[in-house]
Amino acid sequence: MSPFLGEFIGTAILILLGNGVVANVVLNKTKGNNSGWIVITFGWGMAVFTAVFVVGQFSGAHINPAVTIALATAGLFDWAMTPMYIGAQMLGAAFGSLLVWLTYKDHFAATEDGPAKLACHSTGPAIRNTGSNLTTEIIGTVMLVFGVFYLASPGFTSAEGQFLEAIVINGQEVGFGLGSLSALPVGLLVLAIGLSLGGPTGYAINPARDLGPRVMHAILPIPNKGSSDWGYAWIPIVGPVIGAFLAAFLFMAFS
């Protein structure tokens, strides 16, 4: 499997299971309706676990532009490969969102709450405050990326790669990413972030996770869907990117 396809499939799995659990909880007449925040955060943790386990061996399972940017900033991933990875992540997130809509199509139709339908695609703040919302996304992403640097499996332990595993394309090493053995610790990290830091903004901590599904919300024929909230959309993009750079600088400072 090519790294591009690996990132596409991995991010699609992430969104299918992650936004799928949100749809199960917030849409009307589902088996999981109103089952709560714990179910959502656990579902997202398992979504990360599954995605990393499946595609870690093929692409390093970045499945998040913030992770790709942080690795490149730290000198652990080829900047030339970054646009390809981010493009695959964006497309995979959009495709995963399409699959969520197909799975829950009848329940979208049975739900009158427009913001609930948007929540099945993208994040939004509990209290709308630009500075606070941006800060929350930065902090959450720093925790995610800094944790990824140190929680990844010890399959690759060179001084350059730390605990990340090498990604080799056509016999050439292009950087590092997560191996399949990283799936459980990274999934638990995302669960912890959701439980502890997810309340204010819904913890996007991943530009592809928010933007790709938000685009799908805008173009899919969802009845009475309301606004896609484009005025907020820049925060789950800019916040994670800033957080990625900060996490990379912290990693370089302490490693």
Per-residue pLDDT tens digits for 53-108: 999 999 999 999 999 999 999 999 999 999 999 999 999 999 999 999 999 999 99
Specify whether the CB–CB gap between 13 and 179 falls below 8 A: no
Question: What is the structure's pLDDT at 89?
Answer: 98
Q: How far apart are the first and last CA of the chain?
A: 32
Per-residue pLDDT tens digits for 29-47: 999 999 999 999 999 999 9
**Domains in the chain: ranges and CATH:** 3-248 (1.20.1080.10)
Confidence grade of residue 158 (pLDDT, cut at 50, 70, 90): very low
Question: What is the structure's pLDDT at 31?
Answer: 98
Question: What is the structure's pLDDT at 162?
Answer: 55
What count of residues does the chain have? 255
* Mean pLDDT estimate for the chain: 93
Question: What is the structure's pLDDT at 175?
Answer: 84
Q: How far apart (Å, rounded) are the C-alpha atoms in residues 48 and 20?
A: 13
Per-residue pLDDT tens digits for 197-250: 999 999 999 999 999 999 999 999 999 999 999 999 999 999 999 999 999 999
Side chain identity at residue 22, one-letter code: V
**Mean pLDDT for the stretch of residues 154-174:** 65
Question: What is the structure's pLDDT at 153?
Answer: 56
The answer to whether the Cα torsion of 125, 131, 136, 142 is positive or negative is positive
3-class DSSP state of 25: helix
Judged against a pLDDT cut of 80, whether residue 166 lies above it is answered with no
Per-residue pLDDT tens digits for 117-154: 999 999 999 999 999 999 999 999 999 999 998 887 55
Judged against a pLDDT cut of 90, whether residue 179 lies above it is answered with no
Regarding beta strands 172-177 and 165-169, do their DSSP bridges make them parallel or antiparallel, or are they unpaired?
Answer: antiparallel
Q: How far apart (Å, rounded) are the C-alpha atoms in residues 7 and 5?
A: 5
Question: What is the structure's pLDDT at 168?
Answer: 78
Residue 12: CA count within 13 A, CB half-sphere:
17
CA neighbor of 52 nearest in space, from 187, 239, 172, 162: 187
**Mean pLDDT for the stretch of residues 170-179:** 82
Question: What is the structure's pLDDT at 154?
Answer: 52
3-class DSSP state of 80: helix
3-class DSSP state of 190: helix
CA neighbor of 148 nearest in space, from 48, 31, 47, 21: 48
- Alpha helix segments (H runs only) across the chain: 3-26, 37-59, 65-73, 82-103, 105-109, 114-119, 130-151, 183-197, 207-219, 235-254
Judged against a pLDDT cut of 80, whether residue 110 lies above it is answered with yes
Question: What is the structure's pLDDT at 172?
Answer: 79
Q: How far apart (Å, rounded) are the C-alpha atoms in residues 84 and 1?
A: 15
The answer to whether the Cα torsion of 45, 240, 19, 179 is positive or negative is negative
CA neighbor of 97 nearest in space, from 214, 192, 180, 240: 214
Distance from the Cα of residue 108 to its chain's centroid: 23
Question: What is the structure's pLDDT at 159?
Answer: 46
